[in-house]
Structure 1
Amino acid sequence: MYYTVYTAPLGELYILENEGFVIEVTFDGEPFVVSKQQGISAIKEETPVLVEAKKQLDEYFKGDRQTFDLPLKQAGTPFQEQVWAALSAIPYGESRNYADIAKTIGNPKAVRAIGQANRRNALPILVPCHRVIGKDRSLTGYAGSKTEIKEVLLELERIPFIKK
């Protein structure tokens, strides 16, 4: 496993790669969950995949990129993978609420489970869980309650929201 550090307008992003796939993104030096679970230490190294991830993040934060074209892989339950696929389908500059995602995956009563799957997204920004906001357009938790990060991303994409 390899990682790199990317300095974004919202702080440092730590990007973890394994076997040619980006598998996790964390904020401001938070430990990688995947490497911790597997008991493997990541090595800081600029692999081609990590260099490309940093390039695409640069383009995104400059407003020149709306989708990412990176090899991504995260492990989850079939339900979580379904939710993450639905998140990836939310277009740049648009938002959805948890009920919308539940309907999208054909399970309209799974609103709370959608929230849990959203929180377990190991690839924030790349799999745009920040585009999920409250039904009343209010901010909901993001990356361990880091709503200030969510605010920056929503403002970048010009997605309207309400601060509470």
Structure 2
Amino acid sequence: MKSKKAQEEIVGFVLIMVIVAVGFLIFLGFNLRQGITTTEESFDLHQFLESSMEYTTECSLRYEKDLAKLGDLFESCYFGKTCFGGQQSSCEVLGSTLEGIFSESFVIDPESKYTSFEFESYFVEGEKREEIFSLDKEGECGGKIIGSTYILPAFPGNIENSLKLCIAIT
């Protein structure tokens, strides 16, 4: 009779182990099916955004020879200012300059390292958050997302510029 009790305990232990293993496989399956939802902070992207804000544009805000830096155009765009001479809005110059910088800096293609990107700029004052500009190049993101935010002071609030890049899994 003692051997039957030992056999029952072994069978019970094996059943518990099988149930735990099946539960683990189900948990693992759900986690692998879910897309990547978190963005890893990137120091390199922060440096890229910081240096991009110093890029000299073709827009003069005060007088003809005083070409504005890219960082100055976000505030000008938010407040609806035009470039000196009134021929172009600061938003038009901001958009074309950013498109040029991103196309020269990142090759966005399903076959390249970067498969998509998203850039957003917001004016933030307390609880108020208004979009200034956004630019993205859609692609399927099956890899890791890296990103960074760069904040510019703009009285009476701040301008938050964020960039997210999707890196392909190789």
Name the TM-score, length of structure 2 as normaliser. Answer: 0.26
Name the TM-score, length of structure 1 as normaliser. Answer: 0.26
- Return the index of the structure with the highest Cα Rg: 2
